[in-house]
């Protein structure tokens, strides 16, 4: 297969997403034009680093260029102020300046953390994203969201900061544990559900190839996701409106993650069950057809994702959702489906119907 390229069009801050089966071992695949920097500092973790750093470093380095690394511990609990501070300290020790490029090599945690460090070190230095998980490849590495967690909530501190390029090398998915790969597919399904019915149908027909991690199927799916995400980011870079569509299933999902304790369910697993709850509300609201809800459920089941939200109790869900940062002026906003392939954001839903949906998660 050939490499695929998508441009995220944001005027002077536009950048390419390059998708290929084995981007860093093939010759001349990473265009020099995208690698203008003379000094790279790769931020990676102690699991991904040993697997991919040397290959990436070899590709980045050429005469007159230097490549260094900063290693952070693996895990969501390290997406913290403490780790961020340690990255700052190492950047300072290495005397990084505004001509230094940060390369985020890893999954969502590395991308969010290294991205936020790049956004804020000396008020912003260049950033390249090399996502190594499916979740990061189709979602978190594209569009400029960076953040760290706060004891009071996920992603409470962060910035919108666009990278200079995103390099997606599919062979990196080979080492991904099955559970994590499947969790990433929840976000893939989300793009179909909220904005691309044709892609949703394609997923129904090709889910076995995806599960087998076939490069052709993966390349197509990742491209469709990134292309849909690019459209959304181009229309609403800082999430003042339509970008919130990407949060389909996420308000319920965050409640699940927080309610169970972070880490018990993977983010994608919580989003899968969250999409079913948001979908249920869409059905009760008279928008989504039951048969469409069934198709969504069927696809998630075939992937092997949870479709039943944990029974934390209705009031606990409401409480957890009330603290969600998507609450505007005290009003809860939710993403609902008009039909498969079309979503909308609303704070004008029926509270009674929400309570009815949550009666399914009573203890």
Distances (CA, A) of 346 to 91, 150, 285, 326, 337: 42, 27, 12, 11, 10
Strands 165-169 and 153-160: unpaired
Query: Which one among 260, 327, 332, 353 touches its own copies, defined by CB under 8 A?
Result: 327
CB of 329 to its own copies, least distance (A): 5
Cα–Cα distance between 349 and 247 in angstroms, integer? 16
> Two tokens at 227?
């292309």
Which uninterrupted H or E stretch holds 5? strand 4-8
Positions in 171-210 near its own copies (CB under 8 A): none
CB of 14 to its own copies, least distance (A): 15
Query: Which one among 3, 24, 39, 83 touches its own copies, defined by CB under 8 A?
Result: 39
Q: Assess 239 for contact with its own copies (CB under 8 A).
A: yes
In the residue annotation, 267 being an active-site residue is answered as yes
| Annotated catalytic residue, options 76, 197, 239, 342 | 239
Q: Assess 123 for contact with its own copies (CB under 8 A).
A: yes
| Annotated catalytic residue, options 79, 267, 314, 326 | 267
Q: Assess 319 for contact with its own copies (CB under 8 A).
A: no
The owner of tokens 């544990």 is 177
Instruction: Give the up-direction half-sphere exposure of residue 124: CA atoms within 13 A in the CB hemisphere.
Output: 9
Distances (CA, A) of 24 to 3, 52, 86, 275: 12, 9, 28, 35
CB of 48 to its own copies, least distance (A): 25
The DSSP output letter for 320 is H
Positions in 53-82 near its own copies (CB under 8 A): 81
Give me the residues that bind its own copies (CB under 8 A), please.
Answer: 38-39, 81, 85, 88-89, 92, 95, 97-99, 119-124, 145-147, 150, 152-153, 155-160, 238-239, 323, 325, 327-330
Catalytic residue annotation: 123, 145, 187, 229, 239, 243, 247, 250, 254, 267
């Amino acid at each position: 297969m050939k490499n695929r390229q998508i441009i995220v069009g944001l005027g002077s801050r536009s950048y390419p997403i390059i998708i290929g089966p084995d981007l860093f071992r093939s010759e001349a695949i990473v265009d020099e034009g995208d690698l203008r920097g003379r000094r790279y500092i790769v931020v990676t973790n102690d699991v991904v680093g040993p697997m991919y750093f040397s290959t990436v470093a070899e590709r980045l380095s050429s005469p007159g260029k230097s490549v260094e690394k900063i290693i952070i511990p693996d895990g969501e609990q390290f997406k913290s102020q403490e780790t961020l501070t340690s990255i700052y300290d190492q950047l300072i020790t290495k005397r990084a300046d505004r001509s230094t490029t940060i390369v985020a090599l890893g999954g969502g945690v590395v991308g969010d953390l290294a991205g936020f460090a790049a956004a804020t070190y000396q008020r912003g230095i260049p950033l390249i994203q090399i996502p190594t998980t499916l979740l990061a490849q189709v979602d978190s590495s594209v569009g400029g969201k960076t953040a760290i967690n706060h004891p009071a909530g996920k992603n409470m501190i962060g910035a919108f900061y666009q990278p200079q390029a995103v390099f997606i090398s599919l062979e990196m998915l080979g080492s991904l544990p099955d559970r994590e790969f499947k969790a990433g597919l929840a976000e893939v399904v989300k793009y179909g559900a909220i904005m691309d019915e044709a892609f949703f149908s394609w997923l129904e027909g090709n889910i076995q190839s995806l599960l087998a991690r076939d490069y052709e199927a993966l390349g197509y799916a990742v491209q469709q996701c990134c292309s849909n995400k690019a459209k959304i980011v181009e229309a609403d870079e800082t999430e003042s409106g339509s970008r919130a569509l990407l949060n389909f299933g996420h308000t319920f999902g965050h409640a699940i993650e927080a309610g169970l304790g972070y880490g018990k369910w993977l983010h994608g697993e919580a989003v899968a069950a969250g999409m079913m709850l948001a979908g249920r509300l869409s059905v009760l609201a008279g928008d989504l057809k039951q048969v469409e809800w069934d198709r969504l459920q069927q696809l998630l089941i075939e992937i092997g994702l949870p479709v039943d939200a944990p029974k934390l109790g209705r009031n606990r869900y409401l409480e957890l959702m009330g603290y969600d940062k998507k609450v505007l002026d005290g009003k809860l906003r939710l993403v609902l489906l008009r039909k498969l392939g079309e979503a909308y954001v609303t704070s004008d839903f029926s509270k009674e119907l929400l309570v009815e949906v949550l009666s399914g998660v009573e203890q």
